[in-house]
Chains A and B, each alone.
Chain A
Amino acid sequence: MEKRVTFSHKALPYLLVAPQLVITFVFFLWPASQAIWQSLFLPDPFGLSSEFVGLENFRFLFGDRYYLESFTTTAIFSLAVTALSMSSALLLAVMADRVIRGATAYKTLLIWPYAVAPAIAGVMWLFMFNPSIGLIAYYLKFLGYNWNHVLNGGEAMFLVVVAASWKQISYNFLFFLAGLQAIPKSLIEAAAIDGAGRTYRFWTIIFPLLSPTTFFLLVVNIVYAFFETFGIIHTVTAGGPERSTTILVYKIYADGFVGQDLGSSAAQSVILMVVVAILTVVQFRFIERRVHY
C-alpha cells in the first residue's frame, strides 16, 4: 500500500529516518554481522587471538550432545508452554464470552499477569515451590510427594513451564476473547435454533471460526517460549539441574558469558537467527492469509 499524495523535500526524509537507522545499524546489524563473523573463528583459551575455522563451530555444535539436547529441551518447553497456556486461556475466554454481567471484571482480573515481568513470575513460582520453604512443596510433602526441582530435572521443567504459561495466559485470553467476540452472534443463534447443543456448537462453529486467532497465537507463543522466557529460566533453575532446562537462548548466554566460548556462542546465535527468520516469515505469511480470511 502506498500513499498517492506525498511531500517533496530533499533532506527532511533522511533526517527523519536517521535516528532509527543509526540505532538499527549500531545495535542490530553490526552485532548480527559480528555474530556471523565470530561464528567462523575459534578463539584460543586466553582470548588473545583467534583462528579462522570456517564452519567448524557449526559442525562441532551439531555433533555436540549438549547442544542437541538443548534443542530437544527447547522443543519440549515451547510445546508444553504453548499447549498449557493456550488451552487454559481458551477455556477461560469461552467462559468469559458467555458471561453477560461482570464480563469486564473477569477480564480485568485475568489480564494483569501480562504486566508481570518473566523474572518476577519466576521468583513468585519459585517462592511457592521452593523445596524447603515453598507452600506448595510443603503440602506436596504432606501428601507424600517429595518435591525437589533443584535436583529433579522433570520437576524443574514442570515448574518453568507452569511459570511461563501462567504469564502468557493473559495474552492468549485477550486474543481469544477478541476472536470470540468477533464471531457474529447470529451464527451461534442460528446454530442453536438448528438444534446444536452447546458443546457441539463450540466444536463445529466457534472453534473453526476461531482458527485464524489460534494459528496466530500458536506462532506468538512459540516465539514467546523461545525468546522471552529467559528471565524465568534464569531465576528459577539457571538452566539446571544437569542442563534439563537449558533452552537455546539460555545456552547462548551461558556459553558466551559464563563459559566465555565466543565462537560457539556466536555460531549458536547464527542458528537462532535462522530460526527467528523462519518464524517471522511464517508469521507474516500467516498474517497475510488472515487478512483474506
Chain B
Amino acid sequence: MVEKRGIGFFLTHAVLILGIAVVGLPIYLTLVGSTVTQQDIIQPPLPLVPGPHLVKNYSDALFSGVNVPVMRMLANSMVMALGIAIGKIVISILSAYAIVYFRFPFRMFAFWTIFITLMLPVEVRIVPTFEVAADLGLLNSYAGLTLPLIASATATFLFRQFFLTVPDELVEAARIDGAGPVRFFKDILLPLSRTNIAALFVILFIFGWNQYLWPLLITTEPEMNTIVVGIKQMLPTADDWGNWPVTMATAMLAMIPPVFVVVVMQRLFVKGLIETEK
C-alpha cells in the first residue's frame, strides 16, 4: 500500500466522516424526532439533540400505536421475515440438491422453471398474483404474507453453485460408508453448507423484513400489517397532523431488527450479499 501522510491522510478521513454524517443524518433526525413531543416537531425547527420523551414515545408506539399497537406489527414483520428466510432456504436447498445430485427426466425443465422466476419479480405481476392469493383465501394471513415470496431462483443458484464445489470424492466416500442420498444430505452436505445458509439467512431476513408492496396488497386489516407497511398509515395526511413522535419511534423500531442483524453478523452479511450476486 502506498501510504499517504499529511494533507491526503486528513482529506481521506474528512471525506469518510462527511460520508458517514450524510448517511447517518436521516437516522439521527429520526432518532431525535422519536424523543421529543409533537409540539416540538410541529413548531420548527426540530431540536438538534434528543429530548427526554424516549420512553414515553416508544411505549406509546409499542402498546397503543396509531391504528394498532406497533408491537403487533413487529410480531407480524418477524413472522413474515422468518417465514420468508427459512422457507426460501428450505425449498431452495432441497431443489438445488435434486438438480445437482440427481439425474432425472424433466431435470432441465425444473431448472429453467426456477430460472424464469428471476424474470418475474412480484412488482410486474401485481394484480394477477393478488387474485391468485385472494382465490386461495390467503388475504390477511401469514401464509399469504410468506408463501408467494419464498420461491427464489437466487437462493437455489447459490446452493447449486456451492454444491458444485463439493468434491465428488465425498459422495463416493459416503456411498462406500453406506450413506444413501438422504443421509448424505443430512450428515455431510447440510453441515458443509452451514456458512452459506447463515449468510443467506441474513440477506433473506432483511429482504423479508423490508417487503413493502406485497404485504401492502395482501393485508387489509391493520392487525395483519407489517411494521414497514403500517408506518405509511401513521403518516400525517392533508387534514391531520398525525403523531410524529410515535411515527418516528415506529420508524426506529422498524429499523432496529434488520440493522441489528447486519451489524452483528457483518461478515456473514457481506459474504451473503456478494455470493448471491455471483
Contact = CB atoms under 8 A, between A and B. Distances in A.
B24 interface: yes
B251 A123 contact: yes
B42 A132 contact: yes
Contacts of A170: 23
A88 B94 CA distance: 40
Contact of A111 (B3, B216, B262): B262
B269 to A, nearest CB: 8
A45 interface: no
Contacts of A8: 102-103
A128 B30 CA distance: 9
Interface stretch (A50-58, A61-69, A268-276): A268-276
Contact of B148 (A9, A27, A120): A27
B277 interface: yes
Interface in A132-151: 132-135, 137-139
B129 interface: yes
A19 B255 contact: no
Given A38-B128, A120-B255, A127-B30, A28 B42 contact: no
Contact of A116 (B12, B156, B258, B277): B258
Interface in A2-49: 3-9, 12-14, 16-17, 19-21, 23-32, 34-35, 38
Given A21-B110, A124-B27, A132-B42, A95 B19 contact: yes
A218 B85 CA distance: 27
Contact of A28 (B24, B131, B151, B229): B151
Contacts of A253: 126, 213
A269 B172 CA distance: 48
Contacts of B248: 127
B71 interface: no
A262 B110 CA distance: 31
B212 A234 contact: yes
Interface in B21-40: 23-27, 29-30, 33
Contacts of B4: 98, 198
A275 B224 CA distance: 33
A227 interface: yes
Contact of A7 (B91, B184, B255): B184
Interface size class of B (residues with CB under 8 A): 35 or more
B151 A119 contact: no
B266 A111 contact: yes
A188 interface: yes
A281 B128 CA distance: 24
B255 A116 contact: yes
A14, A98, A106, A252 pick with most chain B CB within 10 angstroms: A98
Nearest to B27: A124
A119 B229 contact: yes
Given A17-B95, A115-B262, A133-B41, A32 B125 contact: yes
Contacts of B123: 227-228, 230, 249, 252, 272
A16 B98 contact: yes
A28 to B, nearest CB: 5
Given A29-B113, A95-B15, A276-B124, A20 B91 contact: yes
B100 interface: yes
Interface string B259-274: 1011100100110011
Contacts of B125: 28, 31-32, 34-35, 269, 273
Closest 6 CB pairs of A and B: A117-B210, A231-B212, A16-B98, A31-B128, A34-B128, A115-B258
Interface of B: 1-4, 8, 12-13, 15-16, 19-20, 23-27, 29-30, 33, 41-42, 44-46, 90-92, 94-95, 97-104, 107, 110, 113-114, 116-121, 123-133, 136, 147-148, 150-151, 156, 163-164, 168, 171-172, 180-182, 184, 206, 209-213, 216-217, 228-229, 231-232, 235, 244, 247-248, 251, 254-255, 258-259, 261-263, 266, 269-270, 273-274, 277-278
30 contacts: A3-B168, A12-B102, A13-B98, A19-B91, A20-B92, A20-B156, A31-B128, A34-B128, A100-B1, A110-B19, A111-B269, A115-B255, A115-B258, A116-B210, A118-B212, A119-B231, A119-B232, A123-B235, A124-B29, A133-B41, A135-B46, A166-B23, A227-B123, A231-B228, A234-B232, A266-B127, A269-B128, A273-B125, A277-B119, A280-B118
Interface of A: 1, 3-9, 12-14, 16-17, 19-21, 23-32, 34-35, 38, 88, 91-92, 95-96, 98-100, 106-121, 123-128, 132-135, 137-139, 166, 169-171, 174-175, 178, 185, 188-189, 192, 198, 216, 220, 227-228, 230-231, 234-235, 249, 252-253, 256-257, 262, 265-266, 269, 272-273, 276-277, 280, 287
